[in-house]
Amino acid sequence: MKIATFNINGIKARHKALPAWLEEQSPDVALLQEIKSVDEAFPRDLIEDLGYNLETHGQKGFNGVAIASKYPLEDVTRGLPGDPEDVQARWIEATVVGARVVRVAGLYLPNGNPVPGPKYDYKLAWMKRMKARAAELLRTEEPIVLGGDYNVIPQPEDCARPAAWEKDALFLPQTRAAFREILNLGYTEAFRARVSGPGHYSFWDYQAGAYQRNDGIRIDHLLLSPQAADLLRDVGIDKDERARDKPSDHVPVWIELDA
């Protein structure tokens, strides 16, 4: 089972690139972020015509997450628990019922800039809520995959120029500590379980030829419960997507699990 995460940075802008990637790479499950569309306006046919089931949790103009799956999706829930007043569309969960049953969560973690300020306070509070939900999911003792745009640079090797990010919400010590707290519950960060060393990124800014210079950061992650980590076969980053026509500033990151 191939599961990918992809921040598409707007379905309207990616209405050609996203179906092309789905056809070419054929993930069984795609966790999408920043769809930037309300549910009723999302062009479902673009995905459903390719044989995918689709569940969205949208929001007008920004945010928004979705799950596309070749397998049936059951027990779909929307919104991260813990704050009933939080209306930002950043979390969606579903059970993928294939040859193996896997619970997936697609997430778009807050950016948090500028620092200090209410946006960073929201980011840390959101991560605390995510930790609580991640702990609940572990107690099911099922294969769990938490995939999405985390807006977290875990280590200096995950950015081309660490000094440039020292005061950014994505790289502050408090941010990385909150990320490690989630990992330390018992999750495995899939990419680093298989690939070490610098130079592996999932985001490049549109400005100043960042992609051409490989001046990137790695902020799109897939975290696996022990039951899912035991099934891990392969990982990868579809870096070449960034070089295509009208690309997102993110590229897909994927894993393969034993079926």
Q: How many helices (H) and strands (E) are present in the chain, helices listed first?
A: 6, 14
Q: 118-138 and 173-183 are packed helices; what angle lies between their axes, rounded to 10 degrees?
A: 10
The SS3 call for residue 69 is strand
CA dist 174 → 120, 125, 158, 177, 181 (Å): 10, 12, 17, 5, 11
Nearest 5°: the CA angle 191, 194, 198 is 70
CA pair distance 257, 234, nearest whole angstrom = 7
Rounded to 5 degrees, φ, ψ at 158 are -90, 10
CA pair distance 221, 146, nearest whole angstrom = 8
From the candidates 149, 158, 168, 220, which is the catalytic residue?
149
Q: What sections of 114-159 are H helices per DSSP? A: 118-138
CA pair distance 112, 98, nearest whole angstrom = 36
* Residue 150 annotated among the catalytic residues of the structure: no
From the candidates 108, 120, 150, 201, which is the catalytic residue?
108
Tokens of 69: 């799956």
* Residue 149 annotated among the catalytic residues of the structure: yes
By CB atoms closer than 10 A (0-12, 13-18, 19+), residue 61 is exposed
Catalytic residue list: 108, 149
